[in-house]
């Protein structure tokens, strides 16, 4: 992108996801690095002469993915373990007495989705990781640290605060690794990267004949917040991809909630910004589950029409990939309430994403004034029916920008130095709230059904 956020060149590659056992979700580290290298090379070629004036590059990665590697050879010693992976859930359950203290230090809740229990699992169960630790060669940490090491000439062993803050090992007030938490999970300080600001001299990328400084590393959801400029306190930011997330900025003050996450979103020049965040694990992943379970061909293509045509879908109690905020039930059993065919059930899954987002927005109202508007980005924001439902539920206008791929655009905004002007090429679409809709009535029934299932122990 150029300094005004106009796309100049784009390249993308698919990355395979492997599910070797129940609760295991992995990516191949070599495949990950290779796809990024290929995409960078192709993008530079597409940029043509413009590539000669490239000023900076940034990484925005899934925040809770972790990996272990050899600090001498660079060889990956573990798979990239996805944020969706919950293989270490038993270890998390055994720490319930420390839950409040951990939340106060990290802003997170005890969950196997975060990095600490995954790293502990690797240290205890992978022989190559154990050996590298004994010989002082082990490097571990967020996936972003691995990528910075692999793809830059300088190979720094560092991490950004956004990625570090999704490990359950990082103190968000002190902005450093927490000694007590490291000891609790058995992760030595020497195997963890040094924490540096989001904007930092991470090294340089060599892309063909072009050398580009890597000056930003952050998380995908954190970058997405900045897709359309500086953050506004009165806006609820919704980004819907594999998971769906809603965030409200709290400025330089971390605000703690008993049921919501407190997240680091950016650190630069000694200033750290925070948000209150709600997370819905089952968004795109729930629709993928629906497609695979019911063998629905081209589900994403058919869903917009189904959202218009289906009149009275069943309700879907959505715990795909674990039920996130504000409930925090990792083993919640998903299921439908009511009957319907594949189309009606798919609509129910789509509506459940909006219902869960709204439930989180209600919780945010206990800590700040009601949002004046909602900004919706991400791949699932293309679903008009979901955007309209969210506006109807909240009673405030929802805005979908013309450019909904928020992560790359937000990354470039931060790289450009947060300019005052960051215009959209074309205007987006507003969804004005309507009163008394069937979707609002269904939310009431859905909320009761969720509470009943939780109360009865599922």
For residue 3, is it within any domain?
Answer: no
Average pLDDT over residues 328-336: 92
Cα–Cα–Cα angle for 301, 304, 308, rounded to 5 degrees: 145
Number of DSSP helices (H) and strands (E) in the chain, helices first: 15, 20
Among residues 166, 198, 218, the one where a domain terminates is: 218
List Cβ neighbours of 294 (8 Å cut-off, separation of 6 or more).
Answer: 342, 345, 346
For residue 19, is it within any domain?
Answer: no
- Do 254 and 213 share a structural domain? no
Cα–Cα–Cα angle for 355, 411, 232, rounded to 5 degrees: 55
CA 40 – CA 251 distance, rounded (Å):
33
For residue 14, is it within any domain?
Answer: no
The 8-class DSSP code of residue 298 comes to: T
- Do 213 and 242 share a structural domain? no
- Do 321 and 182 share a structural domain? no
- Do 244 and 150 share a structural domain? no
Distances (CA, A) of 151 to 83, 333, 458: 22, 41, 46
Does position 10 have pLDDT exceeding 90, yes or no? yes
Average pLDDT over residues 326-340: 94
Average pLDDT over residues 265-276: 96
- Do 184 and 272 share a structural domain? no
Quick one: how far is CA 133 from the chain centroid?
29
Tell me the pLDDT tens digit for each residue of 242-252: 999 999 999 99
Q: Give pLDDT, residue 458.
A: 62
For residue 368, is it within any domain?
Answer: yes
Q: Give pLDDT, residue 249.
A: 97
For residue 8, is it within any domain?
Answer: no
- Do 236 and 205 share a structural domain? no
Does position 66 have pLDDT exceeding 70, yes or no? yes
Cβ atoms < 10 Å from Cβ of 348: 24
State the CATH number of the domain containing residue 127.
3.30.420.40
Q: For residue 7, give both structure tokens.
A: 């796309």
- Do 340 and 300 share a structural domain? yes
Question: Helix crossing, 384-394 with 299-309: angle to 10°?
Answer: 50
Sheet of 199-207: strand order equals 57-61, 210-219, 199-207
Q: Give percent above pLDDT 70 in the chain.
A: 100
Does position 399 have pLDDT exceeding 70, yes or no? yes
- Do 260 and 200 share a structural domain? no
- Do 187 and 99 share a structural domain? yes
pTM: 0.90
- Do 107 and 159 share a structural domain? yes
Q: Give pLDDT, residue 50.
A: 78
For residue 18, is it within any domain?
Answer: no
Tell me the pLDDT tens digit for each residue of 78-120: 999 999 999 999 999 899 999 999 999 999 999 999 999 999 9
Among residues 170, 194, 218, the one where a domain terminates is: 218
What domain count does the chain have? 2
Does position 317 have pLDDT exceeding 80, yes or no? yes
Name which of 1-5, 378-382, 425-429 the model is least confident about: 425-429
Average pLDDT over residues 350-369: 97
Q: State the maximum Cα–Cα separation within the chain, in Å, rounded to a whole number.
A: 65
Tell me the pLDDT tens digit for each residue of 115-170: 999 999 999 999 999 999 999 999 999 999 999 999 999 999 999 999 999 999 99
Does position 47 have pLDDT exceeding 80, yes or no? yes
CA 66 – CA 191 distance, rounded (Å):
13
Does position 425 have pLDDT exceeding 80, yes or no? no
**Cβ atoms of residues 137 and 117 within 8 Å:** no
- Do 436 and 317 share a structural domain? yes
Q: Residue 156 is part of which domain span?
A: 26-218
CA 175 – CA 267 distance, rounded (Å):
10
- Do 356 and 318 share a structural domain? yes
Quick one: how far is CA 99 from the chain centroid?
22
Among residues 218, 244, 274, the one where a domain terminates is: 218
For residue 292, is it within any domain?
Answer: yes
Q: Give pLDDT, residue 456.
A: 85
For residue 247, is it within any domain?
Answer: yes
């Amino acid at each position: 992108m150029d300094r005004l956020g106009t796309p100049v060149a784009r390249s993308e590659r698919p990355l395979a996801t492997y599910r070797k056992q129940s609760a295991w979700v992995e990516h191949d580290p070599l495949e990950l690095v290779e796809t990024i290298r290929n995409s960078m090379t192709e993008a530079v070629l597409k940029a043509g002469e413009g590539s000669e004036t490239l000023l900076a590059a940034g990484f925005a990665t899934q925040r809770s993915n972790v990996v272990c590697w050899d600090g001498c050879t660079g060889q990956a010693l573990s798979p990239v373990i996805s944020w969706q992976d919950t293989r270490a859930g038993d270890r998390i359950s055994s720490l319930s007495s420390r839950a409040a203290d951990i939340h106060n230090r990290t802003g997170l809740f005890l969950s196997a989705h975060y990095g600490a229990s995954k790293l502990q699992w690797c240290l205890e169960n992978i022989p190559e990781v154990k050996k590298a630790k004994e010989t002082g060669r082990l490097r571990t940490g967020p996936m972003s640290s691995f990528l910075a090491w692999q793809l830059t000439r300088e190979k720094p062993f560092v991490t950004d605060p956004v990625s570090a803050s999704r490990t359950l090992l990082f103190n968000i007030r002190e902005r450093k690794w927490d000694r007590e938490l490291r000891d609790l999970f058995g992760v030595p300080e020497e195997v963890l990267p040094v924490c540096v600001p989001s904007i930092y001299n991470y090294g340089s990328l060599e892309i063909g004949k072009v050398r580009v400084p890597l000056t930003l590393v952050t998380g995908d959801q954190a970058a997405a917040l900045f897709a359309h400029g500086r953050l506004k306190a009165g806006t609820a930011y919704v980004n819907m991809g594999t998971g769906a997330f809603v965030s409200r900025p709290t400025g330089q003050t971390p605000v703690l909630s008993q049921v919501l996450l407190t997240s680091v979103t950016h650190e630069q020049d000694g200033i750290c910004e925070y948000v209150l965040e709600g997370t819905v694990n089952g968004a795109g992943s729930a629709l993928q589950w629906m497609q695979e379970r019911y063998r629905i061909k081209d589900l994403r293509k058919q869903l917009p029409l189904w959202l218009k045509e289906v009149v009275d879908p069943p309700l879907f109690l959505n715990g795909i990939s674990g039920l996130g905020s504000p409930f925090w039930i990792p083993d919640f059993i998903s299921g439908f309430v009511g009957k319907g065919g594949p189309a009606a059930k798919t609509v129910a899954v789509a509506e459940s994403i909006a219902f869960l987002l709204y439930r989180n927005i209600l919780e945010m109202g206990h800590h700040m004034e009601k949002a004046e508007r909602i900004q919706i980005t991400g791949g699932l924001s293309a679903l008009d029916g979901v955007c309209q439902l969210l506006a109807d539920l909240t009673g405030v206008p929802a805005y979908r920008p013309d450019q909904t791929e928020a992560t790359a655009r937000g990354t470039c905004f931060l790289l450009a130095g947060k300019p005052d002007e960051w215009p959209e090429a074309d205007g987006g679409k507003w969804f004005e709230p309507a009163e008394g809709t069937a979707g609002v009535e269904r939310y009431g029934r859905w909320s009761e059904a969720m509470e009943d299932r939780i109360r009865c122990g599922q």
